[in-house]
Amino acid sequence: MANRRNPHDRKRSNRLSSGLRNIGTAPGCSSATGCRMMSKRLQLAAAMLLSLAGAGGAIALPDPFTDERPRYQEALHALERGNLQRFDALAASLHDYPLHPYLQDRRLRRDLARASDADIAAFLERHADTPLADRLYDDWLEHLGRTRQWSRFERFYRGGGDAELRCYHLRATRTTGDRAAWLDAAMELWTVGHSQPDACDPVFEVLYDSHRIDSDALWERIALAMAEGRLSLAAYLGKKLPAADRERVEFWRYAHRRPAAALNDARMQADDDSVRRIRLHAIQRLARSQPDSAYAALQARRDQLPGDDYHAALKYVARYAGIRRSDNAYAILRAVPADWRDAEIEELQARIALLARDWAALLETIEGFRHQDSRFSEWPYWQARALDALGRSEPARQQLLTLSGERFFHGFLAADRLNRPYRLNHRPIEYDEADLLALLQRRPGLWRAGELHRLGRTWASRREWYHASLKLSPAELELAAALAHEWGWHDRAIWTAARAGRWDDVQIRFPLAYRDQIEQVAEQFDLDPALIFAVIRQESAFMADARSPAGALGLMQLMPATGRQTALQLRLPRPSRATLLTTSANLRLGSAYLKRMLERYHGHPALAAAAYNAGPHRVDRWLPDDGGFEPDHWIDTIPFRETRGYVRGVLAFTAVYDMRLNGEAVPLARRLARVVDVHGKSGG
């Protein structure tokens, strides 16, 4: 269901025709031929909009590109086979097809080494508004740099770029221009904590030959390398120092690997710049695993560290004390001076107080916040809980009352405590077909992205969409979110609505995509459909081909091993990665695994969601031994930030989808039984 200014308008096609007639002269249309071409493209765009809108359930008209699309695919196949005559003929016939630039790009790339400067320049100018131009520009310059065609390189180079391009530029201009400025630019590239591309080696050789890299410069880069944990680079640089300094570098590497032992080493008693750096590094390394010991070491050596170094180290140690939840975490966090505190230190201090149920300390910490943007965080809710626990029931009730009108996890918890209904606060983006058509006229990148999406070119389509979105005004971003929603391209609709700051268009941000399939697997595994929708919304935002850096796949972000194990339990064939990316298999296996987690934890959705995200072995460790924590407290003291956010998201989204599917929501208080006797470690 689209969000329309006039949902009862039965003359959508007439309004669209009128909208097309009233667009007027296209921007950049400077000739009769150009205007006719633009008019042709606008008509195609209008038809495309209408045809693709059917995917969102609003309008369904014939597809205008049924002839062009197969010819586009045929052209690509002809190019792959080397039939250039056939390719050129097909490409010429597709001049007004939105993806014609992609054919030109493929043609140039087929033999990039033989492309002329004129061909490359013409493409870059003609298609400057596409991501193709940026990629071709980089690849072309890399080719010219690798083949040392310096004059041609400089003809195209516009400045900036990655380290490889910048080094090629310096190589191209080594004998021209301001020598001092050249050396300064080269030093900027050299003075980093990681290795640079091989293309930079000739540039750095000039630096060494010019004696710009002295011992101070070497120590500076060694410090950067050690800060990034690049021990091999530090050792390589250390070889360029005198023997005594090389020994210091080796001691620094030792301190990185064995910080506690290094802090007690006699060599740590020296008082010079390099040892002070090593001492500070060792304390910070120790803080990662033993923050209380690191704090003790820091206090014992306070006089050996300058003020700023001491406070920077204290903040670093305090951060890990809070993350590791060490015995002295609260005191260490509280010791960080006001000028050195930030939002993370404040939050960690509050969470340690919450973990201990120290209501007075929690309230003091929250009321002392200076860096938190806390409207939609957990802290106003816990401020109310702390006030109530300390006997200040009326201000607690007022705080909960304010929160109860908001659509997020802690707003729903506040509503439950006051026995108030949840509020969706739905504020739809207002648009009609003419608005979307005008958007496509102004921003043809969205038009190309839609056609790529239609062809199943998912990565290219998202790249095109992202590139186009960078140039959109806030109002255009809203319309682009609506456009993606109309096309049924839900992951882009959700992403674009977020970029536009339109958090309250519930239909766009919480679509009912795949509803029939989800309800089928929900019935099969006796699951609440709202919970499955919520997991998908949290995991992939309806990106069916999503792949996480960890290897999770598809709508429900199944790890391949989990998918295989679940398939075995269901007596299904062993699924491949490609199978796990199909909607049907992903929904079935993901829902089956979600059901397993619910059974393991006796139907508790918070524990099941945490296990789905972080693994049941971790949830078993996180459960209180006495089983006495309340669910809100348990959720907000989960050790992993990602899992805390994940569980809150799944539960809040379950309530939203409950309201979308059923008109009202089962209160979270009813879904979340007290975390008692739910260890279930024998389940499995």
Residue 540 lies in a domain: yes
Does 116 score more than 70 pLDDT?
A: yes
Residue 586 lies in a domain: yes
Q: What is the pLDDT of residues 662-674, one digit of tens each?
A: 999 999 999 997 6
- What confidence score (pLDDT) does residue 177 get? 83
Instruction: Tell me the mean pLDDT in the region 553-569.
Output: 98
> Cα separations (Å) of 413 from 298, 433, 594, 667, 669?
42, 39, 23, 8, 7
- What confidence score (pLDDT) does residue 311 get? 96
Residue 538 lies in a domain: yes
Instruction: Tell me the mean pLDDT in the region 262-289.
Output: 94
DSSP secondary structure string for all residues of 260-313: HHHHTSGGGG--SHHHHHHHHHHHHHHHHH-HHHHHHHHHHTGGGS-HHHHHHH
Does residue 556 contact residue 539 with C-beta atoms inside 8 Å? yes
- Least confident interval from 110-124, 239-253, 664-678: 664-678
Query: Annotated active-site positions, please?
Result: 539
Q: What is the pLDDT of residues 54-82, one digit of tens each?
A: 445 454 434 678 899 999 999 999 999 99
Does 5 score more than 70 pLDDT?
A: no
Residue 379 lies in a domain: no
Number of domains in the chain: 1
CATH number for the domain including 610? 1.10.530.10
Q: What gap in Å lies between CA 316 and CA 227, rounded to an integer? A: 13
Residue 480 lies in a domain: no
Instruction: Tell me the mean pLDDT in the region 343-358.
Output: 97
- Least confident interval from 127-131, 305-309, 325-329, 415-419: 305-309
Instruction: Tell me the mean pLDDT in the region 546-550.
Output: 96
> Cα separations (Å) of 111 from 5, 120, 173, 547?
51, 12, 27, 32
- What confidence score (pLDDT) does residue 376 get? 72
Q: What is the pLDDT of residues 506-535, one digit of tens each?
A: 999 999 999 999 999 999 999 999 999 999
Q: What gap in Å lies between CA 426 and CA 656, rounded to an integer? A: 11
- What confidence score (pLDDT) does residue 316 get? 98
Does 30 score more than 50 pLDDT?
A: no
Q: What gap in Å lies between CA 636 and CA 634, rounded to an integer? A: 6
Considering the chain, what percentage of its residues have pLDDT values greater than 90?
Answer: 84
Residue 236 lies in a domain: no
Range of the domain at 624: 515-671
Instruction: Tell me the mean pLDDT in the region 442-471.
Output: 96
Residue 316 lies in a domain: no
pLDDT band at 33, cuts 50/70/90? very low
Full-model pTM: 0.88
Residue 104 lies in a domain: no
Considering the chain, what percentage of its residues have pLDDT values greater than 70?
Answer: 88
- What confidence score (pLDDT) does residue 624 get? 86
Average pLDDT, the chain: 90
